[in-house]
Amino acid sequence: MSEIKKSELRILTGITSSGTPHIGNYIGAIKPAIESQNLGQAIYFIADLHSLVKLWDPVLRKKYVLEIAATWLALGLDINKALFYKQSDIPEISELAWILMTVASKGLLNRAHAYKSLVAENLNNSDPDHGITMGLFNYPVLMAADILIFNAHQVPVGKDQIQHIEIARDIGARFNYLYKDILVLPEAKIDQELMVLPGLDGRKMSKSYDNTIPLFEEPGKIQKLINKIKTNSQAPHEPKESKDCVLFNMYKAFANPQEIKNLENLYLKGIGWGEVKKILAEKISLDLKEPREKYLELISNPKIIEDYLKQGAERARKIARDNLNQIKEACGLLN
């Protein structure tokens, strides 16, 4: 990608509305994404259309949309700097998705990791596509439309999402070849230092593993959840190893370098596990105290959240509509 002026750089991030945000989301995605507000034109959207693939409870979907929006706003998303909208409020995305489907290779989508893994699970089934919907199969195309409708230059993703950006580039390149070279081909932006937060069981913190700490949980409940983390049988006063310790790695995500060094010294001196858990819970609760207050205020006033999303959608639709018209003209769909 050639050098792009800061004022013209477009960075797009999507958040699927399929669960209540937890501290793993905060450290791994929300915090670094919000920090990118000053790097160019930040575009954030709540991917409620994507959530249709695996969430079929309309009440929960609405609940998660509000919770996610309130979370990002409470943690510092500036609606005056960034575009912030709900995916389903931009119908141009769905229209572009169909246009892209007509140029997307089925073979390309056959190689998508999510689809391949489900097919692999059906090896002993007479139907290799048992339980697989077209929504899941075409998920990468809708994601490509999310990105290409705004001609985004960069998409911050984890390593497991790189393929989706590659697919978006392939589809965009095919469109440009067949019609007109007007779509910007995005690049995956990967932060090599990005921390993957461990969950209560030591695995990656994920709703799928049911090992999360809700982001704005009450301090007392945060302490109770952290108390469930299993530790080894070392007694107080025995020197402990901080490397690969779930408690220590969680603490590192919230603490400054001096605080991390202080706790590391306490490990060497033989701090008890109960005391470490207390220090960790207090640090998380203190770090999130102010955002939690903002979140509770917002979530108790859903009209404010809905107005913010509506305003963002109006701004986003103007851009999407102009870009889609160029795309449709290139296809011969407009006079």
| Cα–Cα distance, 200 to 272 (Å, whole number) | 18
pLDDT for position 5: 74
**Average pLDDT value for the chain:** 93
Does 202 map to a domain?
Answer: no
Q: What residue ranges in the chain does DSSP mark as E strands?
A: 10-16, 41-47, 83-86, 154-156, 187-189
* CB-CB neighbours of 302 under 10 Å: 15
**How many domains is the chain built from?**
2
Whether residue 236 sits in one domain with residue 90? no
Q: Look at residue 209 and tell me whether its pLDDT is greater than 90.
A: no
Q: Among 67-71, 90-94, 132-136, 200-204, where is mean pLDDT lowest?
A: 200-204
| Residues 228, 148 share a domain | no
pTM of model > 0.75: yes
Strands 41-47 and 187-189 come out as: unpaired
| CATH number of 265's domain | 1.10.240.10
Residue 323 lies in a domain: yes
- Specify the higher pLDDT residue, 53 or 191: 53
- Same-domain status, 111 and 164: yes
Helices 289-299 and 302-331: crossing angle, nearest 10°?
Answer: 80
320 pLDDT above the threshold of 60? yes
Q: What percent of the chain has pLDDT over 90?
A: 77
Residue 4 included in any domain: no
- State which residues form the domain around 170: 10-196+301-331
Both 232 and 107 in a single domain?
A: no
Question: Do 17 and 114 belong to one domain?
Answer: yes
Residue 3's pLDDT is what?
64
Is residue 87 in a domain? yes
Q: How far apart are CA 120 and CA 65, in angstroms?
A: 32
Centre a 10 Å sphere on the Cβ of residue 207 and count the other Cβ atoms it contains.
15
In a domain, residue 293? The reply is: no
For 220-247, the pLDDT digits (tens) are 999 999 999 989 989 888 999 998 899 9
Above 80 in pLDDT, residue 6?
no
Task: Provide the token pair at 203.
Answer: 């695995």
pLDDT at 4: 74
pLDDT band (50, 70, 90) for residue 2: low
Same domain? 189 vs 156: yes
Task: Evaluate whether 134 touches 141 at the Cβ level (below 8 Å).
Answer: no
pLDDT tens digits, 101-134: 999 999 999 999 999 999 999 988 889 999 999 9
pLDDT (average), residues 322-326: 98
- Average pLDDT (187-196) is 77
- Asked whether residue 27 falls in the same domain as residue 150, the answer is yes
Q: Are residues 171 and 242 in the same domain?
A: no
Per-residue H/E/C for 42-68: EEEEEEHHHHCCCCCCHHHHHHHHHHH
Which comes out higher in pLDDT, residue 86 or 190?
86
Same domain, 180 and 244: no
Question: Is 106 inside a domain boundary?
Answer: yes
Is the pLDDT at 137 greater than 60? The verdict is: yes
Same domain? For 170 and 317 the reply is yes
User: Do 182 and 227 fall into the same domain?
Assistant: no
In this prediction, residue 208 carries a pLDDT of 81
- At 250-274, the pLDDT tens digits run 999 999 999 999 999 999 999 999 9
Assign residue 180 the CATH number of its domain.
Answer: 3.40.50.620
Which pLDDT belongs to residue 196? 78
Same domain, 134 and 185: yes
Question: Does 326 fall in a domain?
Answer: yes
Name the pLDDT band for 194 (thresholds 50, 70, 90): low
